[in-house]
Amino acid sequence: MDLSLGMDIAGYANANAVQSLQSNVSVAMMKKSLDLQEAMGDQITKMMELSVNPSLGGTIDIHI
């Protein structure tokens, strides 16, 4: 009986688990990046909408 075959299978299983973990981490990081880009895009859109009338909210008229 050759034990090196068993070690190769265990090594393959371990390498496969590491590969799967790296893939999952990569997908999670990409999702976070996309969420951040979407939030930044929403903020830029809001800033662009406010820049159409830049004087809006710049002064307050108070009469006493």
pLDDT digits (tens, 9 = 90+) for 11-33: 888 989 999 999 999 999 999 99
Record the pTM. Answer: 0.58
Sign of the Cα torsion 54, 59, 60, 61 reads: negative
Alpha-carbon span 11 to 1, nearest angstrom: 18
Q: Choose between 52 and 28: higher pLDDT.
A: 28
Show the 3-state SS of 1-64.
CCHHHHHHHHHHHHHHHHHHHHHHHHHHHHHHHHHHHHHHHHHHHHHHHHHCCCCCCCCCCCCC
Indicate if the pLDDT at residue 58 is higher than 90: no
Q: Tell me 57's DSSP state.
A: T
